Amino acid sequence: MLDPLPPLPDRVSRIAMIARWKPVHLGHAAVLEALADRADHAIVGIGSPNKYDASNPFTADETASMIRLVLDGRDNVELVEVPDLGHGPRWRAMVVGMFGPLDLFATANGYVRSLLEHDYRVVHPVWLIAPERRVAVNGTMVRRLMARSEQWRDLVPPVIAGYLDANGLVERFRSEFGDETKALEDAEKKSEPT
């Protein structure tokens, strides 16, 4: 449950968010556009670019291409790779050093919030999006549908579906991580209380 919506300025000088964006889905697209539209300078962190696994099946370059496609020429956005260090306090110091002063930092991740709330005003990304643009979707959901060859295309912007198909990234994902993704989902379902 989100806290009540805090009063937010319509526009700020500097805003940032870090996510894995793998793949960029409809919810991500709304957030990315809101970041760009609400700030003079938006920093979009590509999280875990140093990971390549079932949860991170696209490279940093592929992820950056997806973000650029969704932002469609907006020139006030800076993409920054933010590696996973496996150590929260070191990661926090790295982020603050990389991003510098910000008016707002958006995250849906409670741990990231706890790391950065003393450095930045942290807001949930849904607060930045108009209610009619909010979509209940996440990357895990999209990747699971991809792995099962089910209807994932409705959950991503058409330009992203086209990019993934044209570059063979869906087939690569299925080949490299499809079985693992399905097995993880099955294990998760078995561990749920009945």
- 89-127 pLDDT, tens digit each: 999 999 999 999 999 999 999 999 999 999 999 999 999
Confirm whether 4 is domain-assigned: no
Q: Please indicate, yes or no, whether residues 173 and 118 belong to a single structural domain of this protein.
A: no
Residue 35 domain-assigned (yes or no): yes
Instruction: Report pLDDT for 191.
Output: 77
Q: Which pTM was predicted? A: 0.92
In a domain, 30, yes or no: yes
Residue pLDDT, tens place only, 160-169:
999 999 999 9
What's the pLDDT at 159?
98
pLDDT, tens digit, 9 for 90 and up, residues 45-97: 999 999 999 999 999 999 999 999 999 989 999 999 999 999 999 999 999 99
> Considering the domain boundaries, does residue 65 fall inside one?
yes
**Average pLDDT, whole number, for the chain?**
94
Q: How far apart are CA 189 and CA 194, in angstroms?
A: 10
Cα 74–Cα 146–Cα 52 angle in degrees, nearest 5: 70
Asked if residue 7 is part of any domain, the answer here is: no
Residue ranges making up the domain that contains 170: 139-191
How many domains would you assign to the chain?
A: 2
Residue 182 lies in a domain: yes
Predicted pLDDT of residue 33? 96
Residues 63 and 111 in one domain: yes
Give the pLDDT of residue 6.
66
Residue 6 resides in a domain: no
- 25 and 64 together in one domain: yes
For the chain, what is the total number of helices (H) and then of strands (E)?
Answer: 8, 5
Specify the pLDDT at position 187.
83
pLDDT over 70 at 38, yes or no = yes
Check whether residue 125 and residue 186 sit in a common domain.
Answer: no
CA 17 to chain centre: 8
- Does 125 lie in the same domain as 29? yes
Q: Find tokens 């570059």 and name the residue.
A: 167
